[in-house]
Amino acid sequence: MYLPRLAMPEGRLLSLELVPFELRKFRLNRASPEDVAWLAAVLERESSPFGTHVALDSRLTVLW
């Protein structure tokens, strides 16, 4: 789930948080801490060349 925070009225992106879920038996469940850590590492590795970073707490926060 993506949770953007926008500046109004121009719509500029102020922050972006991601809440990882997994689909099991046609139900959405919060991802396990291990899966969230893996996703954070992959996003950090792939986005860092572009100057974007990912902070891990209960959610993933995109930093630029």
Q: pLDDT per residue over 3-47, tens digit each?
A: 999 999 999 999 999 999 999 999 999 999 999 999 999 999 999
Specify whether the CB–CB gap between 56 and 19 falls below 8 A.
Answer: no
Q: Who contacts 56 (Cβ-Cβ below 8 Å, separation ≥6)?
A: 36, 37, 40
Torsions phi, psi of 60, nearest 5? -100, 125
The per-residue pLDDT for 17 is: 96
Rg (Cα) of the chain, in Å, rounded? Answer: 13
The per-residue pLDDT for 3 is: 96
Residue 57 in this model has a pLDDT that exceeds 90? no
